[in-house]
Structure 1
Amino acid sequence: MDTVTIEGTRIRVLYSEEMIARRVEEMAAEIARRNPRRLLVVPILKGSFIFAADLLRAFYRVGLLPEVDFMILSSYGAGTRSSGTVKVLRDIETDVRDRDVLFVDDILESGRTLAHARDMLLKRGAARVMTAVLLDKPHHRVADIEADFRGFECPDLFVVGYGMDKAHAFRELPFVGHVLEEAPEEGA
């Protein structure tokens, strides 16, 4: 696997730009085959924004024309592990009654966030709530949820890139990688 160095930080590429692009196209086709009704796509921000944008463009190419709304949920705060409490920082504005909803998220790990969001929208009358995640990390799953559509099963590593960050850095990377080491701070 390739390793890149960005401002003193070594990152091992786990999923290349080409691998991700190919898988996103395949996922769009898989989702289209489920024949969603009055589809509402709800990206979970912030980490999913690049994946969601690419997936939405791929939907156009397979003939899906969904509506889009956004939700911001947090269970991490400033840490790298889930706190166990899900907070709704921004809710959707769209009525979901009798609609198919597709949550788009960057990573499914503990499952608390997506399970919480799914349950919220089912209580609001959504006909069906599905999930599409770029990465599935089943090693720490505590909630009763599995992704309906997943890009890749991810090893138990902290990953960055393609929208995912470490302390607000690395979201812009066109690949998903694992931080191997960081340069020591000056004077350390």
Structure 2
Amino acid sequence: MTVEGNPKIRCLFTAEAIAARVEEVAGEIAVSEPHDLLIVVVLKGGFVFAADLARALSRQGVRLEVEFIALSSYGSGRRSSGEVRVLRDIGTEVSGRDVLIVDDVLDSGLTLKFARDLMRQRGARRVAIAALIDKPVGRRVDIEGDYVGFTCPDYFVVGYGMDAGHAYRELPFVGVLEPEGGDGG
């Protein structure tokens, strides 16, 4: 699907900066000495960050398992609808385990708060949140990321797993989607 207005994409975080930051985040997580770690990846946007983070954690000597959950608080637009729905649930027991929820963007906080509360209700020993991008300006609930790659203004970002109309997930960098001739800023 193409995006209206023949947009251009301005690089916000390079592939090299992302790779370096993922290694740093993995180091921060490893220092916390997670117990029986289960990474729960929020689909779809979190898959690229989660894959790189899991490999970086492995290099740090952290053993882990990976699961996937699909949650949605978005309709067809770019802003959260406010209602979180489980589209696909995990199939792994979390009771007594450390759970790391991994997502692409922490903005309104609704989806990640829902996921965190769900894992706690299921008996997780400890629940932490790792988000590649934190956009605190749009926060609607009281939640912070435990591990954050980058703090970002309230731009609509694409790349590195994040999309616009299912496009641009494959980009190795994070960019700001700008309409042709716009300043995006």
TM-score class, shorter: over 0.9
Hey, what does 2:79 align to over in structure 1? 81
Of the three residues 54, 57, 69, the one matched with 1:56 is 54
Hey, what does 1:67 align to over in structure 2? 65
Matched to 1:114, the amino acid is: L
Hey, what does 2:12 align to over in structure 1? 14
Of the three residues 123, 126, 134, the one matched with 2:124 is 126
Looking at structure 2, the residues matched to 56 and 133 of structure 1 have their Cα atoms a distance apart, in angstroms, of 13
Of the three residues 37, 40, 53, the one matched with 1:39 is 37
State the shift of 1:182 in Å: 4.3
Q: What secondary structure is seen at the aligned counterpart in 2 of 1:83? A: strand
Matched to 2:72, the amino acid is: S
State the shift of 1:81 in Å: 0.3
Any residues of structure 2 matched to 1:16-31 within 5 Å, and which? 16-31=14-29
Any residues of structure 2 matched to 1:96-175 within 5 Å, and which? 96-175=94-173
Q: What secondary structure is seen at the aligned counterpart in 1 of 2:82? A: coil
Of the three residues 159, 163, 174, the one matched with 1:176 is 174
| Structure number with bigger Rg | 1
Deviations, residues 90-114 of structure 1 (Å, cap 9, x unaligned)? 1111111111000000000010000
Of 85-94 and 8-17, more deviation after overlay is shown by 8-17
State the shift of 1:125 in Å: 0.6
Q: What secondary structure is seen at the aligned counterpart in 2 of 1:58? A: helix
State the shift of 1:140 in Å: 1.2
Q: What secondary structure is seen at the aligned counterpart in 2 of 1:55? A: helix
- Give the structure-1-normalised TM-score: 0.92
State the shift of 1:155 in Å: 1.0
Matched to 2:60, the amino acid is: V
When the two chains are superposed, the root-mean-square deviation of aligned CA atoms in Å is 1.3
State the shift of 1:123 in Å: 0.8
Matched to 1:27, the amino acid is: V
State the shift of 1:20 in Å: 0.1
Looking at structure 2, the residues matched to 79 and 9 of structure 1 have their Cα atoms a distance apart, in angstroms, of 17
Deviations, residues 120-155 of structure 1 (Å, cap 9, x unaligned)? 110111011000000000001111210000000011
- Give the structure-2-normalised TM-score: 0.93
Unaligned runs of 5+ in 1: 1-7, 184-188
Looking at structure 1, the residues matched to 126 and 107 of structure 2 have their Cα atoms a distance apart, in angstroms, of 22
Unaligned runs of 5+ in 2: 1-5
Aligned length: 177
Looking at structure 1, the residues matched to 8 and 122 of structure 2 have their Cα atoms a distance apart, in angstroms, of 45
Looking at structure 2, the residues matched to 98 and 12 of structure 1 have their Cα atoms a distance apart, in angstroms, of 43
State the shift of 1:9 in Å: 2.8
